[in-house]
Each structure stands twice: as C-alpha cells, then as structure tokens.
Structure 1
C-alpha cells in the first residue's frame, strides 16, 4: 500500500480508511495533509472538510449492513471491516519506514528507581515488562467513550480471550487503546479490590514476591484513589522533531496528579476473561492537551515509547520494574477507522441510509 509520505510503507491503513483518506485528501499535498492533522480537534471538524458524499459514507462506517443480517453477524462483519487491532511493526525494519503500527519497546530504554533509591536516588534500566503487550487500537470518535473494553469490536473482537489491562487514552478526536496481558498471579489482587464477594483471606502472601511484583500487587489491590498516587507514565520520543522531544521531555509523571483517571473492572463471565481498564481523560487536562497539540502535528514522523510503572515508595518495593510499555510508529489519525458501532447501529443503519439518500 502506498503511503502519503514518500518512501514510507503505510502497513496499518485499512481498505476502508484508505478510501476515506483518498477522498478527503485527493488534491492535498503532504504538507497540507500534516496541517490538517495539526488543526484537527474533533472528527466533526475533519468531516467538515470532506465532500458530502464522503461524510455520508463515513457516518455509515463505509459499510452497509444487510437488512436480513442478525445483530451478532453484523457485528462480526463490521469488526472485520475495521481491521482491529493495529498491525505490529515488522521485525528488523528501520525506524521511520512504516506508519500506523506498534511494537514492544526494549524495557531497558526506561530508567526506574534502583534498590537503594531512597538513599542514593539512583535509577537503572528496567527489567522486562511485568504485563506483556497484546496489541494497540486507534479509533476516531467524537464521544471518546469510557469502558471501551465493553465494545465487542475492540482488539478485533478477541479482547476477552485473556485477562487484560487496558489503557484508554481519551483524546479530543478519538481513543488510543493499549492492551496488556495480566499474568495469572495478579488476578486475586484485582478481585480483592473490585469483587465484594472475594475472600481476601485467600490472597497469596506478599512476602515471597519480588519487590516489583509486590509493588504491583499492592497497586492492584489498592483503592482507585491510592492507584492515582503511584501509577506513573514515562513518555520517550525515540525519533522526532526537536520541538516534540523538548515538549514531551521523557520524565516520569504521576498520572493521577496530571489528569482524571477512571478505573473500570469487568469480571470474568461465561468463558470470557476479566479486564481492568484505566481511562485517561486527556481532554480534561490543559497540560496534556498542550503536549498533544504540539505532538499531533508531527505524528507521522514520530516514533514514541509510552511506558507505565508503579512507583516504589518503600524499600521492599524497590527496585522498580516497568509495568507495561508500547512503541507507536508514525501514527496517522486521519487513516484510523471509526470506533466500532454500538449495538443499536445495526438496527438503525437502514433508516440512516434512507434519510441520507433523501438529502
């Protein structure tokens, strides 16, 4: 697939997204296209720049659901059309040669508190991520929903196959969803926090755990208010313009002090694994919006590492170890698919089509 940036493969662009992109930008130069991304604050503004026929097909997710198709089959078809999740960056490829994909970064890129940090203040490269990455989604939407994990279309419909920790970046124009597998040893601590029926006397002992596992177990078991005090984000610009590197900085920040964070727990049920979702309300944070306004003008030329670590505050929680991390390669918001439709869309699609055709 040809990319709007010369010499760059756009492996993450779906056929549906390509149709929207080509219609929106038929006469746009690459420079004009970057300016469009820079000025975009909502999908409504983006639609305003599109031809009426393109807006109409976009409203219908560029896909007509047959009237005789039942709801579950229609959801499956639309999930296939969305091509979720985002593809992985090709192993061994040179940075900057592929757009719209993700990879797992080297955890040693992140420096964390050492075993004697409380006395010597020294940091060291992290060991392996505690929760391995499952994948990433990027969707366009004006609603920026909470509890994205409840939508059958996210992660290609396979979210509930494994216990998953979801980080939902609620942006002004969409959602960026990162998915990480929760190791079985941490499940009891999540239940201890959110399941009133869970017998806390059955919790595994913290004494035999490594310091980093102990720190994470305490985080998962803690109230949401206490979680806000210890979960840190560590952003690193691997490749990108100087202005973005200066703005993003790369220093750890306690999330709960920078923006609202909402936790949603969905227990395991009927063969479906549990998930814990952390919704980060970027829209409500002036500081986060400021950083985003700078970064989004250069998204296609950015390689960005996003890491999260639970802060170790006592000797028995040190050294720290990165909880999760993902690397984003040349993310192009214009090419992202729409957020998978809610269930009622399937019953309204025919009515929408009729009303649109009468315009």
Structure 2
C-alpha cells in the first residue's frame, strides 16, 4: 500500500482502512482523542493500528486486535469532547471484559465501521461448524497512542447504501395517514382514527405530517436538524434559542426550546417547550429523530411564558437516488395550550403547519448551497456550528446548562448521565500508558479493574458513594422482595386473552402480518407473508425483581420443569426480555412444539450450536399494532439480528432453549425502551421470532412463533422471591 493523499480505500485483498480517533482517560476522568490509522484485515479478522498510513503491506502495526465471536460492538452515539462532536463506538471483549473506545467525526463513517466490524465478527461463525465452539483464545495486544498529522478518512464505496439491501418494512399493515393538502411543495397528512382511516373528525391535537424531497444526503440533513446553534436560523423560522438541560447519553438528551415571539400569531403569549430527544441511524442510512414533552426538575415553567406540550414529533430522513437526495418526513402532534381550545382549532392547526414548513426551508437552503456543501465528508466543530454542543454562551443559539458546563473540571466530572460519569464502566477500555511511559514500558492490554483507572479524589469519592448506595439499595430490595413477594409459578403470571379486549394479557399474533425470506430470496430479494408458525405460544410471564433474572425455564415450579417431571416429549423455546432499571422487568414468552428438534435441521443447528452461531441467526420482527407515531417510529417494523446489537445469553436444558436478552446493553435500545415503558398501557405490541436462512437449503424461512401483548401495565408485573 502506498502513501495516500486522499481518503482510505477498500482494497481488493479484503482490507478496510481509514483514520479513527482513539480515546483514553486523562485526569479528572476526562477523555481526549488521538488520531490513528486503522486497517481491518478481513482475511485475518484482525484490526491493526498504525501511527501513520502504512508504506507497504509488510509494515508491522504498533498494535493489533483480533475480531472474533468474543467481540461486541456498541454504538455510543454522538458526544462532545474537547469542543468537538464525535460519533463513538466501543469494542468490548466479553471474554476478559476489556474495552476500546473509537470514534469518527462523521456519523456515516461511524455506522460503516460498526457494520464492518460486526460483519467481521460473524464471518468466523459462518466458516465454522455451528456445534464447534469458536471463542478465540488468542491474546489481543493493545493499540499504542502516538502523534499523527494526516487527515484523510476511509472510502466506503464497497459498503455504500446503494450496495446494501434497502431497509423496508417486514410487517404488512395499512397506512394510518391520509393526505389533506399540499403546501409549498410539501404533502400534508393527518393520522386517521383507528377503524376509519378517512375520518374527518380528529382529536384536538391530532398528528400532522409533512413529506418532501430535499436535495442533500441524509447525514447532511441530520446534522442540520440536530444542531441547535445559530446555523439553525437559516431554515428554522420558529426557533429562538435552546438549552441542553441534561445529556443522558450519546443518543438522548433533554432540551429546553424557546419559540420566536414574532413567529407566533399576534396576541399569543410567548411559548416554550421541554422535550426529550432521541435519535438513531438505520442500516440503510435512514436517520430517525424523535421527541416528546417531559418534566424536569431543573427546568420548570416560568412566569410570562406558556409551555406547549409535544405529544410526539420527529423526523424520518430516508436516502433516495443513491443517497444524493432524501425523503424527509416531519411529524408533529402539539397542544399549544390555547385559551378555550375548541374555539381555536383552525388557528392551532395553522401554527403546526407553519412549523412543519421547515422541511421546505431545509430544501431551499440546501438548494442554495448546492455545490458548496461538503456532502458526505461532513466535519463538525462546536466552535463553528454551535450545534448540540456544550459550551456556547450565545443568545440566539444553544446555551449549555451551567451544571453540565465544559468550562470547569468539576462540571465535566459531574455531568449527569454523560459518558464522563465517574461510575460508567461501559466507557472504560484497555489500560493505556501515558505518552511519557512508552519508552519505559511496552505492555499488552490488561483487563480493566477499578484500581487501575486514574480517578481524581472527587471522582473516587463519588464512585465509593455510588457503590455504597447500590449495596444499600440491593440489601433493601432483597429484604422487601423476600418478605412480601410470593413464590412465583413461572409461566402463569400473564393471562391469555384471544379476544384482545383485556389489558395486561397476551395472545398469538396473525403470522401473515410478517414478511419472511422466500425460497428465491438470494436471487431476487423478495419476501413473502408467513403462513404459520412452527411452535405455539402456550404461556407468558410479566415479572419484576431487583436484579436480572436468568434461566427461568430451569427453575422448579414453572411450566417447563413440570413437563420434565411428567417425562413429556415437548420442546420449549423461551424468549426472556430483561429491562433493567431501578426495577428490572422480565417479559418471558414460552413457545412449545411436539415434534423432535432433529426433524428440523436448521432448528437443530440453532439449538445445538454455540452462542456465536445463534447470535448470527436469531431474528426478531417488531410491530406496534396500536400506539402513537413516535412509538411506532422508535420501535420500527424491520427484522433485526438481536445478537448484533444486544447482549444475549442462552440456556440449554433437557427440553428447552431459553434466550435471555438484556435490553440495557445498548444505548439505542435503552432509549427506545424508556419511551415505550412511558406509554406501555396504551400500546398493543406484536412480535415474531425466526432463524435467519442464509442458503437455498434453509429457505424459505419459517416463524418460530408470534405474540401479541395487549396494553401491558408495569404496575401489574408480578414480584417474586429469588430462587
């Protein structure tokens, strides 16, 4: 490989390469980035790190790490570090709990690195027999930090969205939206009532959506929409200023927005809104930004300004024309808190529609910038863009909340919920040496332990206090559960109701609602409606505890072990969703079949295979049958490989295989779950489970089972004492 003046490139030999930022700890728990050149050799499944662009193929990297089934890739989202915006991801070696944090300045590059690393991880699974354990025992060496001044990035033509399958819905359902007008080149839609799509009678604040085509890439539009700084004044006519009240994680934050007084109708009092904003990127390059009103102790309504209520809203930015243009959907459901609302229906809708016209303003802004905008190679500096970034004291832009300011070390350590939080072990990685120590010591990565991290005295005190609080809470929780909670009969805590009329019940969903790979999928990429399920849903649990509850199927007294005691031949497949928090909820679904596993080759390989093989095949198709637009968009309707994004544990017994899914292992999943739990009693959720077919012999696919959860109530989850 010769020296490159432009971006990195995808080599014919199967190497993906480019510049990444490597993050390490500094004093007071702060991070700082170092730019390094990385090469992913897909033949060796190794990630090599160089100080500079390697001159030839035989140059030895300063450090190298094996990418195998032990590696998990976590998307850490968008963060501000040292006044610049980075998109971060973490490599986590689950065999020794060592972690490495990397990042880019572009969301697209971060997403493509994540996808490429995941593909490299599962490559070894496809090459090995599924019943052979493939967990690597090779020793991984660490990546050394060193200076570099080159500034080109990876070329991702091989992994461009045009080369990948378009992400479409895997669920068949009619659209709830009906068009009612067209304004400024935008189509305007209203959400019809259930059972009458074309009803003209909507509630006082029914959702309205504007749809238009913008001549820019989804990434460029995403960065404009998510930015809250002065650049927003070029297209957002209603925006006055914004303040980040709390940065929860790389995908979620709490924002206070004030609207321009001159934009509001004459005689209308000033308005503001406090929203929780969440974003994610889909595999096809679609960006989803969602927000809804919340309450926060640090930002209460104040005199002289009325607080509007956002029932839901957001953007869906989908690439078209090979990513050169984008379809932008902007939805809002707002209660403007007008006096005598029924008398001002037309005025309320008029204000909302004017707000939706921001899509047209975006279109015209990019049209004016055509030929000048940097396109896919987007670089954002906090000092230049003043976007969602944490230190600009400007009047007509974003202002960072004083308690989260980057201007002081104390503020940085104490930022609530950010990756700088002292007790956030997810953001630790391999123990790197200081620059001055390189000549004295050359060592491998070591497993992380709290004693090896360099904490400031204040951070160390916070960590000890946190540990004491967790220990105290754990003791209190164990006492309360063991004293008050009855022993649980697993498989009987959630009732069945096939009529769909009772709350907190389950039933089987219609299999024909879900699309699966057909027998010719590898040639024409066509999917077909499922005709049935292999297994029957026979029981469900809705439980709560003070800790994660694993292997429910193996516990005595449950439906699975009762069949074991009766020497029955039935086989159970159990899916256990674990939702962590102050209270850990468990949703367990019990599927049963009467035929032997050996009769179904793909299922046999899945049941008897190792965890890496299972993670590369187990798929979930979600569907929110009843719920608000914001929840439906956050959950989606596309099949996903659960093991690629979440931590999954498998428990194999005599007559069962249980899949325990930790929802809290992903920041994206945690953001979605937080939104769903807040309105769970208003939702009807359907799911389908299947094993992905990757060859003609494994097609067409078949559903293992489906479920329909009707208006689950967290307060009705059953507490039980630990067995």
Query: Taking structure 2 as the reference length, what is the TM-score of the superposition?
Result: 0.32
Q: 2:589 aligns with which of 175, 178, 203?
A: 178
Matched, 1:302 2:710: no
Shift of 1:236: 0.5
Is 1:125 equivalent to 2:529 in the alignment? Answer: yes
Report the 3-state secondary structure (helix = DSSP H, G, I; strand = E; otherwise coil) of the residue aligned with 1:128.
coil
Residue 56 (structure 1) shift: 8.0
> Aligned partners of 1:181, 1:83: CA distance in 2, in Å?
12
Provide closer, same or farther for how the CA distance between residues 154 and 340 of structure 1 changes in structure 2, counting only shifts above 3 A.
farther
1:278 corresponds to? 659
Determine the C-alpha separation between the residues in 2 that align with 1:247 and 1:157. Answer: 37
Shift of 1:103: 0.2
Measure the CA separation in 2 of the matches of 1:128 and 1:317. 17
Q: How does 1:182-331 map to 2 (within 5 A)?
A: 182-186=593-597, 188=598, 213-267=600-654, 274-331=655-712
Question: How far has the Cα of 1:151 moved from its partner?
Answer: 2.3
If each structure's strand is expressed as a fraction of its own residues, which one has the higher value?
2
Q: Does the aligned pair in 1 maintain the 2:494–2:505 contact within 8 Å?
A: yes
**CA distance, structure 2, for counterparts of residue 139 and residue 218 of structure 1:** 31
The Cα of 1:334 is off from its aligned counterpart by 1.1
Contact 2:554–2:561 (CA under 8 A) maintained in structure 1: no
How far is 1:181 from its partner? 0.8
Q: Give the distance between the partners of 1:229 and 1:331, measured in 2 at CA.
A: 30
- Contact (CA 8 Å) 1:151, 1:340: kept in 2 or not? no
Kindly provide the CA deviation profile for residues 5-48 of structure 1, in whole angstroms up to 9, marking residues without a partner as x. Answer: xxxxxxxxxxxxxxxxxxxxxxxxxxxxx99xxxxxxxx99xx9
1:151-172 alpha-carbon deviations (Å, 9 max, x no partner): 2244497464643111111111
Q: CA deviation at 1:107?
A: 0.7
Structure 1 residues 279 and 310: alpha-carbon distance in aligned structure 2, compared to 1, 3 A threshold: same
Give the secondary structure class of the aligned counterpart of 1:320: coil
Work out the CA distance in 2 between the residues paired with 1:62 and 1:225: 37
| Alpha-carbon shift at residue 335 of structure 1 (Å) | 1.2
Secondary structure of the corresponding residue to residue 319 of structure 1: coil
Partner of 2:446: none
Question: What SS does structure 1 have at the residue aligned with 2:616?
Answer: coil
Shift of residue 316 of structure 1?
A: 1.4
SS at match of 1:184: coil
Look up the SS of the partner of 1:98 in the other structure.
Answer: coil
Determine if contact 2:485/2:720 at 8 Å carries over to the other structure.
no
Q: Which residue of 1 aligns with 2:553?
A: 149
- Rate the CA distance shift 1:171–1:225 in 2: closer, same or farther, 3 A: same
Aligned pair count? Answer: 246
**Structure 1 stretches of 5 or more lacking a match?**
1-33, 36-43, 64-77, 189-203, 205-212, 268-273, 343-359
Give 2:435's aligned residue: none
Say which structure, 1 or 2, has more relative contact order (CA 8 Å, 6+ apart): 1
Distance 2:531 2:491 in 1: 32
**1:95-174, aligned counterparts within 5 Å?**
95=500, 97-155=501-559, 158=562, 160=564, 162-172=570-580, 173-174=584-585
Q: Distance in 1 between matches of 2:535 and 2:687?
A: 14
Offset of residue 115 of structure 1: 1.1
* 8 Å contact from structure 1 (residues 103, 326) kept in 2: yes
How many angstroms does 1:214 deviate by? Answer: 3.6
**Distance (Å, rounded) in 1 between the aligned partners of 2:526 and 2:491:** 44
Cα–Cα, structure 1 residues 155 and 138, in superposed 2: closer, same or farther, change >3 Å?
farther
Match of 1:86 among 476, 494, 502: 494
Aligned equivalents of 1:287, 1:244: Cα separation in 2 = 14
TM-score normalized with structure 1 length: 0.62
**Pairwise CA RMSD:** 2.9
Which shifted more, 148-157 or 121-130? 148-157
Aligned mates of 1:241, 1:311 — CA distance in 2: 30
Q: CA deviation at 1:60?
A: 2.0
Separation of aligned partners in 1, 2:683 and 2:558: 24
Higher mean displacement: 248-257 or 168-177: 168-177
Match of 1:250, SS state, is coil
CA shift for structure 1 position 185: 2.2
Distance 1:159 1:249, change over 3 A: farther
> Which structure has more helix as a fraction of its residues?
1
Gaps of 5+ in 2: 1-293, 296-468
Report if the CA contact (8 A) 1:140-1:337 is conserved: yes
| Residue 59 of structure 1: how far off its partner (Å) | 5.0
Task: Name the CA distance, whole Å, in 2 between partners of 1:229 and 1:102.
Answer: 28
Q: In 2, Cα distance between the equivalents of 1:325 and 1:98?
A: 19
Instruction: Note the C-alpha offset of 1:319.
Output: 1.1
Give the 3-state SS of the residue equivalent to 1:323 in structure 2: strand
C-alpha separation between the residues in 2 aligned to 1:278 and 1:154? 16
Larger radius of gyration: 2
